[in-house]
Chains A and B, each alone.
Chain A
Amino acid sequence: MKKEIINVSRREFLISSGKVGAGFTIGLYLPGCSEQSGNEIHATSGATKMAPPQEISSTPAKGLKEVNAWVVIQPDDTVIIRIARSEMGQGTLTGLAQLVAEELECDWSKVTTEYPTPGENIKRDNIWRDFMTGGSFGIRGSHSYVRKGGAVARHMLIEAAAEQWGVDMAECSAANSVITHTPSGRTISYGKVADAAAELFPPEHVELKDPKDWKLIGQPVKRLDTDEKLNGKQVYGADLWMEGMLNASIKACPVFGGKLKSFDASKVTSMPGVHKVVAVGDDAVAVVAKTWWQAKTALDKLPISWDKGANAKVSTASIDAMLDEGLTSSKKVFVGNKNGDVNKALKGASKVVEATYRYPYQNHATMEPMNATAIWTKDKCEVWCPTQNGTAALQATAQAAGLPVSQCDVHKLHLGGGFGRRGAIHDFVVQAVAIAKQLPGTPVKLLWSREEDMAHGMYHPITMCKLTGGLNNKGDLTSLRVRISGQSILASINPAWMTNGADMFTFQGMLPEGDHAISYSVPNLLVDHAMRNPPVPPGFWRGVNINQNAIYFESFIDELAHTTDKDPLAFRQALMTKHPKSLAVLNAVAKKAGWGTPTEKGVGRGLAVCKAFASHIAACAEVSVNDKGELKILRIVAATDPGYAVNPQQIEAQVEGSFVFGLSALLYGECTIKDGAVEQSNFHDYPSMKIKEMPKVDVIVMPSGGFWGGVGEPTIAVAAPAVLNAIYAATGKRIRQFPLKDVDLNA
């Protein structure tokens, strides 16, 4: 592996040499926590009065000179690393800090992090680049420039020390935040030269380390953000409190596309704490009160009438009919992958197998419901919110505020889950600003109820898939036709990202090449998409289309293997000779899971493999189904090859977490539509997996080097199909409709 030489532009320096200065503090307050001293404390309704609020700032580096945009070092050697991507549980904050620190050669025990704001990023000509945190991109999309940031800072620190000593910087080296002049043995710590380093020009170019020399990348270091998550001190958006703040609870028309007709504020204005009832946009109404509980209580009593609009009759059945039609239609069909002549090959096949699958709408159900806090005045608007994309949140803020972006900013808070819901669409920010605009100068926190969150998701899109496979007389797969019918995310979220009207994202895991390439070689292949867009808003979701595509594909490959009486592992292996990395993860799970060894009665094993977000992943599940039809997932062996593994213990956590997300979706995830609205309203009818259902997971992290793959999402793809194939092995029952809660495994 070669060292990478990275050029540093002058322009970048000139921008980065500015201080992060005035106007960059956010002065938000955390209500006094457990600092009461045993005295009696009086708290009156709404007027929170406990220990004095403790100021926290998202910018601990305030007022300090930065070495460069990524690195600030305090006189006591504390290293503050700036992170542009968002932490939502996936560990990216720690992973990115590891990348910077690796090149910086700093003392890891003194590392802290902070978020720059997207507004500051724009003022500084996009110096922190991309704030978008999704598509498992946090690390793989920024590894090069953040490592460069660390390397440049290290160079400048060494140069400052050398200058101070009057020696040649080539005779100096740095490790663990200490610079050593080798000939004399003199040392000095980073904190002592950081100020001087900040005045230097950055080097013309820097060399990034050869991966074999990495000391911190690849280490299972502890997360940097754990402590405050253990004692209740972590402030999420939902927890924010500011002096004089009011709270809002909102209801938007439950029917998609419906509008607000009217509401009778007089029925609730005298209720405790109620401040104002406001229309929000043309489709929602909010109650603003002293406390959120008061706002919500009043909102529940508010008489509202809706104009349900054109979608009032949409139902799951009407949507299914749309998709059914698409399974065989030739209208609005886009090709995703094609080679050979599939129709001819199918005609000549000795055996043809066909199956149709369906995957439902699903909600993200982040543990922390959507929220945002806004302050609007006629010349400034600021928002505090959990977001996966600060830049997009800022644009949403400016638009809703009716102000130029330069007069707005967004302060990011850690997310209580994102899963794609808080990335592309900031409907909750737009609403918060629209409310704050009606109360100029007053901070207003909008928090959605869980019910609102269920009713107004950006749902995992719905699709059906019809697969037709042709086998020759030896039982080899010679042709495969895959017709996906259903919803496009891009058509709804951002048509500009489409390719000649096609949503290539729909084909995740089935594409001819790239991050989501198919893992098999089939001589005659056609994968296409009949785009059918029901009026239920779709969105990115953890994994998204790879989730159902892998179910379709991996279940069907299993069906084909069983039709030919071939071993599902051998059947796959034969198709994977040109995909050695995917084959390697598949073989690894088969071996560790004891594939081919006998199982007890009622127990079955199932495999799944795919490439997603540039990583190769595979799983082998072992399940039992008893005579009552009860499923128990006993064990899952999972392997992942993300190229480089920045923090193996966090990858392990993400793999385990992906199983919970993927299996919750498989077992329970379904939003059904009735009268144009989602029927489910909370966790009682949209359940999520619990610890009881969680299998033992053995994680094999097998980085093969040479590429950067994602880890937060890929494994979700193999979770469900491995379990479904294991259910088949245990029961002989092939499941093609989801979720499993609606399926009788005994029938």
Chain B
Amino acid sequence: MIKLKINGNVVDIDVDETTPLLWVLRENLGLTGSKYGCGIGSCGACTVHINGEAVRSCLVPVSTLNTSKEIVTIEGLSADTSHPVQQAWKELDVPQCGYCQSGMIMSAAALLKKKPQPSDADIDENVTNICRCGTFNRVRRGIHLAVQKNNKS
């Protein structure tokens, strides 16, 4: 049994310890917002927060986790899609197919936590997710808009 803290809840999970967090989230906990895109840390579709940092969950075996690590998934980013990044995304109609967007949003939200006023260079360096539909320019605008929203609230 492994105990994890996910979106504020403590859960007991009985899985092989080598199972990556991504698959525990998706298959054992039904939190399918985090996506599988590559399984090797290349695409970012599986991005979640662990203690506030953006982490690619496909590379994290659950054996390395315990309840001292606060895991937040897209489902737990806000209760009502009210996070400034989600709001900015909505305003700009950022998603196309949307498959990469949970990861994109989680990367952007983690960046804003670290750097509340990120420059374009900060965005380039921190938001390294792949989007095959090609939403990058709206993602960039969305991050800047989220900063404004943050400042207002």
Contacts and interface: CB of A to CB of B under 8 A. Distances in A.
B135 interface: yes
B49 interface: no
B20 to A, nearest CB: 7
B76 A43 contact: no
A672 interface: no
A692 B30 CA distance: 33
A414 interface: yes
Contacts, number: 235
A685 B108 CA distance: 25
B133 A89 contact: yes
A414 B96 CA distance: 11
Nearest to A54: B30
A292 B25 CA distance: 12
A231 B74 contact: yes
Contacts of A230: 81, 86, 89-90, 95, 101, 105
A46 B27 contact: yes
A31 B136 contact: no
B11 A43 contact: yes
Nearest to B10: A40
A696 interface: yes
A416 B99 contact: yes
Given A48-B29, A367-B100, A660 B40 contact: no
A450 B40 CA distance: 9
A367 B138 contact: no
**Interface-centre pick from B10, B16, B96 (highest chain A CB count, 10 A):** B96
Given A32-B30, A690-B130, A697 B35 contact: no
Contacts of A39: 9
B52 interface: no
Given A293-B20, A367-B132, A659-B134, A90 B96 contact: yes
Interface string B45-71: 100000000000000000000000000
A50 B100 CA distance: 25
B93 to A, nearest CB: 5
A37 B115 CA distance: 31
Nearest to B99: A416
Given A45-B15, A232-B32, A293-B20, A660 B131 contact: yes
Interface string B119-147: 00001110111111111111110000000
**Interface-centre pick from A51, A231, A368 (highest chain B CB count, 10 A):** A231
A368 B98 CA distance: 10
A696 B137 contact: yes
A653 B142 CA distance: 13
Contacts of A650: 93
A657 B94 CA distance: 11
Interface string B24-37: 00111111111111
Nearest to A233: B33
A688 interface: yes
Interface string B76-111: 111101000010011001111111111001000000
Contacts of A247: 27
Given A368-B35, A369-B36, A450-B39, A239 B26 contact: yes
B96 A238 contact: no
B136 A45 contact: no
Interface in A16-47: 30-34, 36, 38-46
Nearest to A241: B30
B77 A691 contact: no
A50 B43 contact: no
A688 B132 contact: yes
Contacts of B33: 33, 231-233
A449 B132 contact: no
Given A656-B138, A660-B136, A241 B127 contact: no
A471 B71 CA distance: 67
Nearest to A43: B28
B27 A38 contact: no
B148 interface: no
Given A232-B75, A657-B134, A238 B36 contact: yes
A236 interface: yes
B99 A368 contact: yes
A34 B123 contact: no
Nearest to B33: A232
A90 B135 CA distance: 11
A36 B79 CA distance: 11
**Interface-centre pick from B127, B135, B139 (highest chain A CB count, 10 A):** B135
Interface string A358-382: 0000000111110000000000000
A226 interface: yes
A46 B95 contact: no
10 tightest CB-CB pairs across the interface, nearest first? A232-B33, A31-B30, A660-B134, A416-B99, A89-B97, A657-B134, A229-B98, A89-B96, A34-B75, A683-B42
Given A656-B137, A691-B127, A691-B139, 10 more contacts: A43-B28, A89-B95, A293-B19, A367-B43, A418-B97, A657-B133, A660-B133, A660-B136, A661-B133, A683-B43
22 contacts: A31-B29, A33-B31, A34-B73, A41-B9, A43-B14, A46-B27, A89-B133, A91-B96, A223-B93, A227-B81, A230-B81, A232-B32, A239-B32, A292-B23, A367-B37, A367-B100, A416-B98, A419-B132, A657-B96, A660-B132, A690-B129, A691-B127
